[in-house]
Amino acid sequence: MRYRKIEISTEERAELEKILRTQKSEKRMTLRAEIILLSSEGKSYEEIIEITGGSRVCVAKWRTRFVKDRMEGLRDKYRSGKPKVITAEQEAQVIEKACSKPDGGYTRLSQRLIAKEVGISQTKVHEILKSADLKPHKTEYWCGKSPDPEFNAKMTEIIGLYMNPPENALVLCVDEKTQIQALDRTQPELPLRSGNPRRQTATYKRNGVVSLVAALSVHEGEITAKTMESNTSENFLLFLKSLKKKYPKKELHIIVDNLAVHKHKDIKSWLSRSKHVNIHYTPTYSSWLNQIEIWFNMLTKDVLKGGIWKSKQELVDQIMEYIKTYNLTRAKPFQWTYTGKALKV
């Protein structure tokens, strides 16, 4: 005997199939999804029972609820019970503990620890914090106001070089990325496959560190870079000299942050003798004005995060290969895309 076929939409089928594919789906939801999909194929109760292992009552229940309430009908209905009474004092305690620095050496208390101290369940703590729109587990970072008294002048100067550079000038953003670790894992990496991410052992071995000094040509997007053993004024000066040699006919405007090696007496002495080379320092605590930081973020995501290297030289080779590929295929000026209100300084 055939039973009435259940008609389902394309969207419903996709959602049901997703439940079946997802390994984290609850077993009861997987059973319900399978019952509906088999019903949409016109399978009889007996066939569905044989395939799923469910009972006749179970199959009838979820067929009926799906026909009535569609996907929502497959979810468990709320079961009322006698709620545990949470006092106003306990709610206040939860909020106070979430918003203040705790004792005992903790930076912040977890919901589990708050629940233990207040004497309620972790679920209730979560509900109280959600109701108060508090998220103590999250931290957001923002650019604080620079204490530099010349902030506006320095910022305006740098942005002016970005927006309207002098004729025959080349604007270069320069900085170092230090202590890049050549990490290898103690066991072979397990590759990405359906249902599982790429997996690495938590244990690793260090094969040395590399420092990188790089320059971004702001209006062309080209990267010039060099690896070095350590970040010293001598190495920085050698890099500046290499930039001057690379662009002999250009007026160089080089933007750097306030790192001590950038202000070393040897650097200042060389600059005083070098025509056509100008250094512009970002305001204090404002290295975000330096566009090379954007590229360093790209390097971290594309190359460094999760990388495995058997030696320091292998890391150096990969970084330099990435830079060569970047210059050939992706190098272009960064575009300002913010469309909101002007930020107050």
- H helix intervals, the chain: 10-21, 27-40, 45-52, 56-69, 88-99, 111-118, 122-131, 151-163, 233-246, 265-273, 292-299, 312-329
Residue-wise pLDDT tens digits, 141-172: 777 788 889 999 999 999 999 999 999 899 99
Q: What DSSP assignment string belongs to 2-54?
A: --PPPP--HHHHHHHHHHHH-TTS-HHHHHHHHHHHHHHTT--HHHHHHHH--
Dist. CA 260–CA 279, nearest whole Å:
14
Q: What DSSP assignment string belongs to 322-343?
A: HHHHHHHHT---------SPPP
For the cut 70, the answer to whether the pLDDT of residue 345 exceeds it is no
Which contiguous run of DSSP H or E holds residue 215? strand 204-217
pTM: 0.66
Query: What average pLDDT score do residues 297-319 get?
Result: 94
* Burial label, 102 (beta-carbon count in 10 A; 0-12, 13-18, 19+): middle
Of 23, 29, 30, 14, nearest in space to 197 by CA? 23
What is the structure's pLDDT at 191? 81
Q: Which amino acid is it at 172?
A: L
Query: What average pLDDT score do residues 77-88 get?
Result: 70
For the cut 90, the answer to whether the pLDDT of residue 200 exceeds it is no
What is the structure's pLDDT at 312? 94
Query: What average pLDDT score do residues 4-28 get?
Result: 79
pLDDT averaged over the chain?
88
What is the structure's pLDDT at 1? 47
For the cut 70, the answer to whether the pLDDT of residue 78 exceeds it is no
Q: pLDDT-derived band of residue 179, with 50, 70 and 90 as boundaries?
A: very high
Query: What average pLDDT score do residues 13-21 get?
Result: 83
Position with higher pLDDT, 211 vs 200: 211
What is the structure's pLDDT at 244? 95
What is the structure's pLDDT at 62? 84
What is the structure's pLDDT at 80? 61
For the cut 90, the answer to whether the pLDDT of residue 39 exceeds it is no
Residue-wise pLDDT tens digits, 252-296: 999 999 999 999 999 999 999 998 999 999 999 998 999 999 999
Residue-wise pLDDT tens digits, 95-130: 999 999 888 888 888 999 999 999 999 999 999 999
